[in-house]
């Protein structure tokens, strides 16, 4: 039997999931009754956001020229945050269908994913979708695909996933043009893990593509990266309904259940082999998930004193539960002077961070206070060591810091011509280095910039969207860690540094950033009976200052018989307010001040 | 805070609560040091005022006096009074009663009291004090009149919505003195929008020219729920700058000290021997009984307020006593908090043995002790002849200090 392993790559909303559904229909894998919109997206959140977060695989049969083809359709997460997962899913494929919306054209994510496919030596079939729409301009879009990706315009398949037009030819092209999977190269078994899900009843479900040998129920298997061993209790594939099988042979795709309790035991990209007859070398390309963006989650309790413990516990429960489902975010307990106990969490990217927060709140039922995201810095110390820090608090004393390196990303932006100027100013203002400006089609261009990741994690995307009135799209990938004139800015309240407020920023922006922070702080801290000096300093040198005037008068003029109870209650409220605040030296700082600062971005 | 929801309690229950039964079956109530009588009627409700006052209800005044006297007779006979208790008739504007009603009220109260009062104050607005009204006051054991002067300058009186012209004040003082009452106290307000430090000097000079024995000088308060507060919050009224307000207060202190007045409470000054005893009962956490609607009372740690609605107060009597709201009995810890809150308003302070007791209560004692040493070190509290008192700078930050001692 012929096997074709492929995936669909697309920009958000270009119709990937609808096309996948249509393909399943066309192969009669799904009856009308079972049809739910976008079958492959299994989480509510995915369906709501119109994006696919976790990959799955579906196996269907298709007749082509009188022969039966087993089509293994591997879904990929579309977003750049999950680049590594996408690349593993693509590695499991031999080809990919690249979908472009005929009313929108090539977008930044289309490119990012296409590049990934090309890097992974995956054959691409370009598809121009949504040709049923009145605004469709498939020829122009096909030309865009040729201009940018060098795929001949005449090779593009025009289709409408909605009406079914062009679906038959697409299936035929998949069978005809995509390469057959490679044959086994070694006798021992090697299977690539390209995804995993957590199931409450069966534990972890591991999705694999077998490259060499085979897997059978009852096999004792070993994960070559983590070294753990398990016994296979179930094998199966989705057709799309789960269907148990006895074996998964070379070049086939399916899932494994092996009483694995947590996702942390399974690493996407790892190689499974037999415990008794292991392969000598794993399949190439395994990497640990890399967290790029960090922020703190605290329970959103107004009253820091009471209830802190229980709210923290429910947050911990939610975080731990979520990690069973998503091993790519990390967490460790964090204690903030102002916000109490919480977690410092690491994410693959910004979208990943948002998704985790939403899932914690939705699935875990906890309300969360999220601090401003920061990136990971690599610090060269005078002891010739290198340390990674993702919290300004952890930066060593300036005297021990030789250099601070920050992550630089290559950003690709596709947008209408007339907004290019404004976008370039935006990038220049964020320490961007212009790389290229490229024609996409009449009226649209692609800008490439190198930007520090730290400069885009606050509000860059929002700004981009507002400059381009929603038409601009962007994608980014990590280029390298680069040394720059970065410095830790300490915020001092009456001379005492407040660690939770310190930040790392570029020396040239430090004054402006600091001043914004001090101004925000000034609004949040109540006046005291003495003047409060607010200062920002780099290595002891003051770079900005503000002050909060002393209260000279805080006295109620009248207190007679009828005023006593009310007055006492008023003062008790004042007292309770004071106790809720964090004392820095003799200055009381409310929790809101810490959050206002963290919300600052680059002001 | 408004108290329109009756708690279901009545003054009769309060009375029962503050009474105890002796072994021989006789009922003894706690000793009452003072009587506060509220007269809510006013010609006009000033926009800074947050008292229970009624303008445009002049028709109710006569029946009101009847109801007050009924309440007085029902209450007073059940109470045990200290020797020489004080009486304070406040408002509202007590002198806005028709002279005949005022006469009835004063006479009725004097008759109901089992002991002769040691001090009897009546509050008055200058424009209401005629020779006839002064004569009515002097015809009863009224020993003090407290006049709402507020300012001597027309534009500042207007800013406060006061109805009198400045000349009405010396006129009223003359009527009172001619009728035979010597103890005249004047109320002044500083920090009025538009007021400057020299204005305060001028107001004080005008007040001192009338030779009062007592002065109450208040910084204007933007009380919650008042029209003035709303106007400030909407930016229609600009409060006086804080530095200017501090300068005003300091000027008042200096000028009055120079004029031979003793500063004895945050906002009160008296010639020797002329402090307001009634108010000192409040500040030393004494016991007093209230008469009239929305009048607060306190007996031995129990506080309450009569219902703040005229009709309910008049009609819903139980054993001749009106409903009450906000009834609470404080525990020992909270009582000590109030003792400090009130006592530290007095410049004489709180006796050291009381302080020691407040610092050894089970819940808040330790916290208080710490706060006292912190504020003493900061120069806001000091020891005066075996008393703990606010310092000169502490007076200006009294709320800051006191909130830590509750």
pLDDT tens figures, B330-343: 998 999 999 999 99
Please count the structural domains in chain B: 2
Q: From the list A555, A560, A561, which residue is nearest B398 (CB)? A: A555
Is A201 an interface residue toward B (CB < 8 Å)? no
CA B258 and chain centroid, separation: 26
Cβ neighbours, 10 Å, residue A442 = 9
Structure token digits, residue B256: 């009055």
Residue B244 confidence (pLDDT) = 95
* Gap between the Cα atoms of B305 and B298, Å rounded: 9
pTM: 0.63
* B78 and B194 both lie in a single domain: yes
Beta strand residue intervals within A87-162, DSSP E: 95-101, 123-129, 157-158
Please count the structural domains in chain A: 5
Residues spanned by the domain of A219: 190-274
* A476 and A581 both lie in a single domain: no
- How many beta-carbon pairs below 8 A join chains A and B? 96
Helix (H) or strand (E) holding B124: strand B119-124
> Is position B308 within any domain?
no
- Of the candidates B209, B206, B214, the one whose C-alpha atom is nearest the C-alpha of residue B187 is B214
* Gap between the Cα atoms of A538 and A536, Å rounded: 7
* B104 and B251 both lie in a single domain: yes
* B255 and B347 both lie in a single domain: no
Q: Cβ(A295)–Cβ(A284) under 8 Å?
A: no
* Gap between the Cα atoms of A296 and A342, Å rounded: 7
Structure token digits, residue A483: 């040394």
Enumerate the β-bridge partners of residue B388. B350, B383
* A60 and A118 both lie in a single domain: yes
Is A566 an interface residue toward B (CB < 8 Å)? yes
Last residue of a domain, one of A432, A454, A483: A483
ipTM for the complex shown: 0.90
Q: Give the three-state DSSP class for A104.
A: coil
* Gap between the Cα atoms of B200 and B211, Å rounded: 17
Residues from chain A contacting residue B218 (CB–CB below 8 Å):
557-558
> Is position B128 within any domain?
yes
* A455 and A522 both lie in a single domain: no
* Gap between the Cα atoms of A134 and A141, Å rounded: 14
> Is position A286 within any domain?
no
Which CATH number fits the domain that encloses residue A208?
2.40.30.10
Beta strand residue intervals within A250-339, DSSP E: 253-257, 271-274, 293-299, 330-336
* B65 and B184 both lie in a single domain: yes
* Gap between the Cα atoms of A100 and A95, Å rounded: 16
Q: Cβ(A254)–Cβ(A59) under 8 Å?
A: yes
Radius of gyration of chain A (CA): 28
* B210 and B88 both lie in a single domain: yes
CA A367 and chain centroid, separation: 21
- Of the candidates A80, A598, A78, the one whose C-alpha atom is nearest the C-alpha of residue A349 is A80
Residue A236 confidence (pLDDT) = 92
Helix (H) or strand (E) holding A533: strand A532-538
* A99 and A217 both lie in a single domain: no
* A422 and A326 both lie in a single domain: no
- A546-555 per-position pLDDT tens digit: 999 988 898 9
Is A558 an interface residue toward B (CB < 8 Å)? yes
Q: Judge: A557–B290 Cβ closer than 8 Å, yes or no.
A: no
* B221 and B354 both lie in a single domain: no
> Is position A329 within any domain?
yes
Residues spanned by the domain of B69: 11-283
Taking chain B, what is the end-to-end CA distance rounded to the nearest angstrom? 20
Q: Which B residues in the span 270-299 are in contact with A, Cβ-Cβ below 8 Å?
A: 279, 282-283, 288, 290, 294-298
Residue A284 confidence (pLDDT) = 86
Q: Judge: B341–A556 Cβ closer than 8 Å, yes or no.
A: no
Residue of B nearest to A568 (CA): B338
Kindly give the parts of chain B with pLDDT less than 50: 1-6
Residues from chain A contacting residue B220 (CB–CB below 8 Å):
557
Last residue of a domain, one of A341, A370, A399: A370
Rounded to whole angstroms, what are the CA distances from A363 to A81, A344, A358?
Answer: 21, 19, 8
Burial A563-588 (b: 16+ CB within 10 A, else e): bbbbbbebbeebbeeeeebbebeebb
* A19 and A163 both lie in a single domain: yes
* Gap between the Cα atoms of A56 and A72, Å rounded: 10
* A240 and A123 both lie in a single domain: no
* Gap between the Cα atoms of A127 and B245, Å rounded: 77
C-alpha distance from B91 to closest chain A C-alpha (Å): 11
Kindly give the parts of chain A with pLDDT less than 70: 29-56, 77-80, 301-309, 337-338, 580-582, 591, 595-603
Burial degree of B271 (CB within 10 A; 0-12, 13-18, 19+):
middle
* B341 and B221 both lie in a single domain: no
* Gap between the Cα atoms of B244 and B267, Å rounded: 17
Structure token digits, residue B199: 């204005």
C-alpha distance from B328 to closest chain A C-alpha (Å): 9
Q: Judge: B397–A551 Cβ closer than 8 Å, yes or no.
A: yes
Q: Give the three-state DSSP class for A278.
A: coil
Q: For chain B, give me the number of helices (H) and strands (E)?
A: 16, 20
Residue B4 confidence (pLDDT) = 42
Last residue of a domain, one of A326, A348, A370: A370
* B95 and B209 both lie in a single domain: yes
- Of the candidates A419, A424, A446, A427, the one whose C-alpha atom is nearest the C-alpha of residue A105 is A446
């Amino acid at each position: 039997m012929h096997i074709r392993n492929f995936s669909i790559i697309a920009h958000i909303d270009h119709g990937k999931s609808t096309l996948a559904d249509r393909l399943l229909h066309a192969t009669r894998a799904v009856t009308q009754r079972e049809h739910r919109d976008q079958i492959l997206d299994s989480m509510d959140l995915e369906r709501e956001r119109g994006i696919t977060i976790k990959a799955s695989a579906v196996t269907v049969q298709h007749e082509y020229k009188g022969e039966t083809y087993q089509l293994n359709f591997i879904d990929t997460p579309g977003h750049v945050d999950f680049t590594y997962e996408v690349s593993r899913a693509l590695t499991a494929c031999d080809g990919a269908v690249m979908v472009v919306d005929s009313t929108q054209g090539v977008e930044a994510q289309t490119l990012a994913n296409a590049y990934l496919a090309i890097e992974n030596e995956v054959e691409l079939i370009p598809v121009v979708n949504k040709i049923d729409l009145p605004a469709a301009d498939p020829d122009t879009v096909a030309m865009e695909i040729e201009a940018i990706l060098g795929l001949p315009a005449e090779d593009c398949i025009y289709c409408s996933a909605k009406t079914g037009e062009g679906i038959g030819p697409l299936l035929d092209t998949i069978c005809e043009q995509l390469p057959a999977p490679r044959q086994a190269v070694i006798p021992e078994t090697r299977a690539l893990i390209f995804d995993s899900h957590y199931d409450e009843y069966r534990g972890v479900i591991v999705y694999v593509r077998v490259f060499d040998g085979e897997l059978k129920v009852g096999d004792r298997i070993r994960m070559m990266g983590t070294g753990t061993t398990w016994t296979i209790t179930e094998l199966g594939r989705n057709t799309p309904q789960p269907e148990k099988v006895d074996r998964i042979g070379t070049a086939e795709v399916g899932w494994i259940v092996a009483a694995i309790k947590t996702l942390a035991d399974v690493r996407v990209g790892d190689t499974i082999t037999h415990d008794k007859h292991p392969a000598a070398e794993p399949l190439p390309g395994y990497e640990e998930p890399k967290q790029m963006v960090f922020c703190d989650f605290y329970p959103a309790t107004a009253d820091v004193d009471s209830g802190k413990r229980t709210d923290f516990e429910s947050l911990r429960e939610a975080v731990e539960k979520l990690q069973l489902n998503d091993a790519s975010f990390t967490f460790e307990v964090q204690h903030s002077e102002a916000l109490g106990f919480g977690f410092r969490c690491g994410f693959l990217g910004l979208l990943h961070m948002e998704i985790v927060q939403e899932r914690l709140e939705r699935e875990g039922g906890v309300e969360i206070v999220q601090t401003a995201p920061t990136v990971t810095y690599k610090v060269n110390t005078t002891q010739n060591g290198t340390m990674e820090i993702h919290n300004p608090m952890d930066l060593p004393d300036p005297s021990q810091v030789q250099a601070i390196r920050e992550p630089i990303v290559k950003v690709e932006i596709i947008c209408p011509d007339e907004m290019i100027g404004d976008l370039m100013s935006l990038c220049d203002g964020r320490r961007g280095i212009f790389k290229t400006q490229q024609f996409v089609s009449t009226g649209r261009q692609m800008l490439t910039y190198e930007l520090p990741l730290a400069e885009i994690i606050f509000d860059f995307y929002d700004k981009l969207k507002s400059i381009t009135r929603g038409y601009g799209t962007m994608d980014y990938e990590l280029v390298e860690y680069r040394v720059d004139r970065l410095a830790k800015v300490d915020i001092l309240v009456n001379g005492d540094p407040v660690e939770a407020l310190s930040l790392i920023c570029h020396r040239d922006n430090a004054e402006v950033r600091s001043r914004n922070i001090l101004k925000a702080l000034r609004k949040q801290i109540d006046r005291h009976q003495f003047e409060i000096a607010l200062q920002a300093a780099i290595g002891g040198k003051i770079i900005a200052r503000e002050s909060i005037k002393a209260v000279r008068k805080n006295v109620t003029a009248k207190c007679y018989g009828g005023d006593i109870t009310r007055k006492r209650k008023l003062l008790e409220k004042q007292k309770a307010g004071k106790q809720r605040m964090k004392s820095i030296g003799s200055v009381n700082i409310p929790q809101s001040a810490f959050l206002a600062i963290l919300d600052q971005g680059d002001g | 805070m408004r108290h329109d929801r009756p708690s279901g309690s009545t003054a009769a229950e309060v009375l029962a609560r503050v009474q105890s039964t002796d072994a021989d079956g006789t009922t003894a109530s706690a000793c009452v040091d003072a009587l506060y009588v509220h007269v809510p009627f006013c010609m006009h409700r000033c926009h800074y005022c947050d008292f229970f006052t009624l303008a445009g209800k002049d028709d109710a005044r006569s029946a009101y006096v009847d109801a007050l006297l009924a309440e007085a007779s029902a209450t007073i006979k059940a109470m045990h009074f200290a020797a020489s208790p004080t009486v304070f008739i406040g408002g509202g504007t007590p002198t806005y009663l028709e002279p005949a009603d005022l006469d009835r009220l004063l006479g009725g109260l004097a008759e109901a009291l089992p002991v002769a009062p040691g001090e009897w104050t009546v509050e008055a607005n200058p424009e209401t004090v005629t020779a006839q009204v002064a004569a009515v006051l002097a015809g009863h054991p009224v020993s003090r009149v407290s006049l709402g002067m507020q300012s001597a300058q027309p534009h500042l009186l207007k800013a406060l919505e006061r109805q009198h012209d400045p000349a009405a004040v010396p006129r009223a003082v003359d009527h009172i003195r001619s009728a035979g009452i010597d103890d005249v106290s004047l109320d002044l307000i500083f920090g009025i929008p538009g007021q400057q430090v020299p204005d305060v000097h001028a107001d004080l000079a005008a007040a001192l020219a009338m030779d009062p024995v007592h002065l109450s000088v208040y910084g204007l308060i933007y009380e919650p729920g008042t029209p003035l507060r709303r106007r400030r919050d909407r930016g229609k009224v600009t409060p006086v700058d804080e530095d200017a307000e501090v300068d005003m207060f300091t000027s008042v202190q200096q000028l009055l000290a120079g004029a031979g007045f003793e500063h004895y409470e945050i906002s009160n000054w008296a010639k020797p021997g002329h402090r307001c005893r009634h108010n000192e009962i409040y500040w030393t956490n004494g016991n007093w009984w209230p008469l009239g609607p929305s009048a607060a009372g306190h007996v031995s740690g129990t506080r309450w307020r009569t219902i703040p609605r005229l009709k309910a107060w008049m009609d819903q009597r139980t054993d001749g006593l009106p409903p009450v709201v906000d009834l609470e009995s404080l525990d020992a810890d909270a009582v000590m908090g109030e003792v400090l809150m009130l006592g530290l308003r007095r410049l004489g302070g709180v006796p050291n043995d009381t302080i020691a007791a407040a610092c050894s209560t089970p819940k808040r004692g330790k916290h208080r002790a710490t706060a006292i040493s912190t504020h003493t070190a900061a120069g806001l509290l000091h020891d005066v002849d075996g008393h703990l008192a606010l310092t000169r700078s502490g007076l200006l930050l009294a709320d800051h200090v006191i909130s830590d001692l509750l």
